[in-house]
């Protein structure tokens, strides 16, 4: 059967010592000797447009264009792992007062996210095939980019207010289109190719809360 060989890019410390930076570490433990000679910088532009709650409706839109760069002790400027370049969000919702005294509330909310994805170091497929496991290409450190990430969330909530208690029933559905966004890449040493792992698809969450 094919073997899915995971690639831990924190091991860039071992393979490409001069290019390593803690700015790129998202998990795991670094055990090697470090220095404080590296640098990092983030810069960009952000725009926000907001419609405040009016007649039960609200909307917020934000967009960002940015660069996230770093230098290791080798002095070469590269993308950080998190240099997605852009981010766009839209959050909108509507509320209705219900009940004989209009003391209760029904609301719907939605969120749309579109962004570039994390960077990664492509494989050296020739060496990987020879060795039978994944090896990163030291000439292309963090040159690759995972496919763009987007997701739509939706929620509905009912709030019932009583003299001494408030109860809230909510249904929140994350990723309503069930899009399988790319999470990472790994080496299949049987097929000698790079394959993708994906994040969770549709994820519903039903909750009840009693406040008193």
- Stretch among 12-21, 50-59, 86-95, 116-125 having the lowest mean pLDDT: 12-21
What mean pLDDT is reported for the chain? 87
Asked if residue 184 has pLDDT above 70, the reply is yes
CB atoms within 10 A of CB 63: 15
Q: What's the number of domains the chain is made of? A: 1
111's CB contacts (< 8 A; 6+ apart) are 89, 90, 91, 92, 152, 153, 154
Cα separation values, 101 from 146, 159, 162, 167, Å: 52, 14, 11, 17
Joined tokens for residue 63: 């967009």
Distance CA 55, CA 209 (A): 26
Asked if residue 37 has pLDDT above 70, the reply is yes
What is the per-residue pLDDT for 7? 45
Joined tokens for residue 212: 């008193």
CB 62 within 8 A of CB 46: yes
Tokens 């995971």 belong to residue: 6
The mean pLDDT of 123-147, rounded to a whole number, is 88
pTM across the whole model: 0.81
Joined tokens for residue 170: 């909510």
- Among 59, 87, 83, 55, smallest CA distance to 69 is for 83
Distance CA 114, CA 86 (A): 8
Asked if residue 160 has pLDDT above 70, the reply is yes
Give residue 16's pLDDT band: very low, low, confident or very high (50, 70, 90): low
Q: How far is CA 145 from the centre of its chain?
A: 13
CB 118 within 8 A of CB 148: no
What is the per-residue pLDDT for 126? 87
- Among 81, 64, 66, smallest CA distance to 21 is for 81
Helix or strand holding residue 206 (H, E): strand 203-211
List alpha helices for 28-153, DSSP H. Answer: 125-131
Tokens 């860039």 belong to residue: 12
Residue predicted with more confidence, 148 or 9: 148
What is the per-residue pLDDT for 99? 86
Domain hosting 10: range is 4-211
């Amino acid at each position: 059967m094919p073997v899915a060989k995971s690639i831990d890019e924190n091991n860039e410390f071992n393979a490409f010592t001069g290019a390593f930076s803690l700015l790129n570490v998202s998990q795991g433990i670094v055990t090697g000797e470090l220095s404080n000679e590296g640098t990092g910088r983030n810069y960009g532009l952000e725009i926000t447009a907001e419609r405040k709650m009016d007649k039960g409706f609200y909307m917020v839109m934000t967009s960002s264009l940015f660069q996230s760069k770093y230098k290791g002790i080798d002095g070469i400027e590269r993308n950080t792992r998190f240099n997605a370049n852009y981010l766009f969000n839209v959050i909108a919702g509507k509320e209705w007062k219900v009940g004989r005294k209009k003391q209760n509330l029904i609301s719907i909310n939605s969120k749309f996210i579109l962004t570039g994805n994390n960077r990664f170091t492509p494989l050296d497929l020739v060496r990987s095939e020879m060795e039978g496991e994944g090896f990163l290409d030291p000439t292309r450190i963090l040159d690759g980019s995972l496919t763009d990430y987007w997701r739509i969330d939706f929620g509905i909530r009912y709030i019932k207010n009583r003299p001494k208690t408030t109860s809230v029933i909510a249904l929140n559905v994350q990723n309503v289109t069930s899009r399988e966004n790319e999470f990472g890449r790994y080496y299949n040493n049987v097929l000698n190719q790079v394959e993708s792992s994906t994040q969770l698809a549709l994820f519903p969450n039903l909750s009840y809360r009693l406040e008193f």
